[in-house]
């Protein structure tokens, strides 16, 4: 229990509610079940493999989602996948805010940078999501090398990103000056 709730008057803290949801299986049973059900139903409804009968699509989606949830690996996979996806979205959002300070609306290069950043984060999220199950995209040697050299890799990547941002923003300012002269 956290110290921020008012227990005397029936109020409770937000963390307590999350903890209660965790205890009843909201995050490892109910939400993955709803997600799988929704995706399977949408696919069946879209491709109409079983005709126009929505009741049949509903029953098949419900049964498949219960089968999927009965496998613990699927629930764990979704929990890991979406937690790292949240981190990836936060990184992209921070990059958008920071690059918004330097970028011009007309500059097309930022689309390529965000596309590359999105691909890198997608690969990172996917590699993190499959790693608890003994799978790896790059092999154990790469992970070991990165963990041993992260102390100089992160500053190097950060410095490279700052240099790239400065170079791109200064070149876009030069192009803007040329456009004004014309």
What pLDDT digit, counting tens, does each position of 128-137 carry? 777 766 666 6
pTM confidence score: 0.54
Determine contact, residues 60/40, Cβ cutoff 8 Å.
yes
Tell me the C-alpha distance between 178 and 182, whole Å: 7
Query: CA distances (Å), 153 to each of 34, 83, 101, 121, 130, in order?
Result: 40, 24, 25, 16, 23
Instruction: Tell me the per-residue pLDDT of 9-51, one tens digit each, with 9 for 90 and over.
Output: 556 678 888 888 888 888 878 888 898 899 889 999 898 888 8
């Amino acid at each position: 229990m956290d110290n921020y709730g008012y227990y005397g008057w029936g109020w409770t803290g937000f963390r307590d509610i999350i903890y209660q949801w965790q205890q009843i299986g909201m995050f490892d049973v109910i939400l993955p079940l709803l997600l799988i059900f929704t995706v399977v139903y949408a696919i069946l409804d879209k491709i109409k493999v079983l005709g126009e009968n929505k009741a049949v699509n509903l029953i098949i989606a419900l049964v498949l989602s219960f089968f999927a949830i009965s496998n613990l690996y699927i629930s764990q996979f979704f929990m890991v996948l979406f937690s790292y996806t949240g981190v990836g979205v936060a990184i992209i959002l921070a990059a958008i805010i920071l690059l918004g300070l330097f970028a011009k609306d007309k500059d097309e290069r930022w689309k390529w940078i965000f596309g590359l950043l999105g691909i890198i984060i997608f690969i990172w999220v996917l590699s993190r999501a499959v790693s608890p199950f003994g799978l790896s995209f790059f092999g154990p040697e790469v992970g070991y090398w990165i963990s041993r050299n992260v102390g100089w890799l992160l500053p190097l990547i950060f410095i490279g990103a700052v240099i790239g941002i400065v170079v791109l923003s200064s070149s876009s300012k030069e192009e803007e000056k040329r456009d004004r002269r014309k």
